[in-house]
A = this chain, B = another copy of it.
Amino acid sequence: MTEHKVEIAMRPDGPAGAEILGFRPLYQQVKANFVRRLVDGSWAPGMALPSESQLASEIGVSQGTVRKALDELAAENLLVRRQGRGTFVAEHDEQRILFRFFKLMSDDGIARFPDSKVLDGTCGPADAAERTALNLQAQEAVIRIRRIRSLGGKPLVLETVSLPAHVFPGLENGPVPNNLYSLFATRYGITIANARERLKAVALTPDQAEHLRVAAGTPALEIDRIALSLDGSAVERRLSLCLTEEAHYQSDLR
C-alpha cells in the first residue's frame, strides 16, 4: 500500500508558512491528496473508500474537514456518496453518468443511448485543429476513429474521435466499444473529468450527407468536444455532426 500524507504540516499555534504561501485551506490540501489517489489509480473506479473517520484519523484532521473535501469531490462527480453504504469512486458506465457527456436526445424527451458502428480507424499525424485541441507538437500521431451513431436504426450522428497515440497505445488494434470513456478508465486508467463543447450549425458535405443518408447541404449541428482528464490534460477531441430533425441538444443553465 502506498503512503499518503498531506504535504504541508498543519499550521501550529502561531501563523507559520501562511504569510509566505498565502494560506491554503486544510480541506483543499486534503482534497488535492484525494485527487492524487484517484489519478494514480490507488482509488479505482467503483471502489469503496475508507469511511470518513478512518480517512480523518489516517491523515490527522477532523472528520468535518475530510467531509468537506469529499463533498466537493462528489459535487464534481468524481465520487458518489450513498447514505448508509459509503463513498465510492464514480464509474463511467452508470446510466446517470452516461448522459453527463451525451446531451443529444430525441424530441419526445425520452433519453436513449444510441448504437454505434465504426466506419474506420486510422493512425497518422495530427492536423492543425487536433494539435490545438490536444496540445500536441507537429508530427505527433493521433488515432482517429470514425463512426455512425444511430437511434432506433436511424443514423443520427457522424462522429470523428481523435486521440493522442502516445496516451492510448495499442487502441487502434482491437474492438471499439460503444462507451469509449469506460474503456479509457479500465484499460488506460484515465478518467474523463469534464469537457468543453463548441456548437455550430453547418451544411453537410456530400460525403458526410451520404453516411447519414440525407441530402447534401442539410443543416447539421456540429459539436466540437475537448475532453479533459482528471489532471486537466486534453485527452480526446471529438467532432460530431448531428441531424436535428427529430432530436436536439439539451443544455441546462443554472
Residue ranges of A at the interface with B (Cβ–Cβ < 8 Å) = 76-77, 100-101, 103, 194-203, 217, 219-222, 224, 242, 244, 248-254
Contacts and interface: CB of A to CB of B under 8 A. Distances in A.
B197 A251 contact: yes
Nearest to A220: B201
- The SS class assigned to the A binding surface is strand
B250 A221 contact: no
A201 B198 contact: no
A112 to B, nearest CB: 17
Contact of A199 (B77, B101, B196, B249): B249
A27 to B, nearest CB: 14
A219 B203 contact: yes
Contacts of A198: 248-251
Report which residue of A76, A103, A196, A254 has the largest number of chain B beta carbons within 10 angstroms of its beta carbon: A254
13 contacts: A194-B252, A194-B254, A196-B251, A196-B253, A198-B251, A200-B244, A201-B201, A201-B220, A201-B222, A202-B244, A217-B217, A219-B219, A221-B221
A144 B54 CA distance: 60
Contacts of A197: 250-253
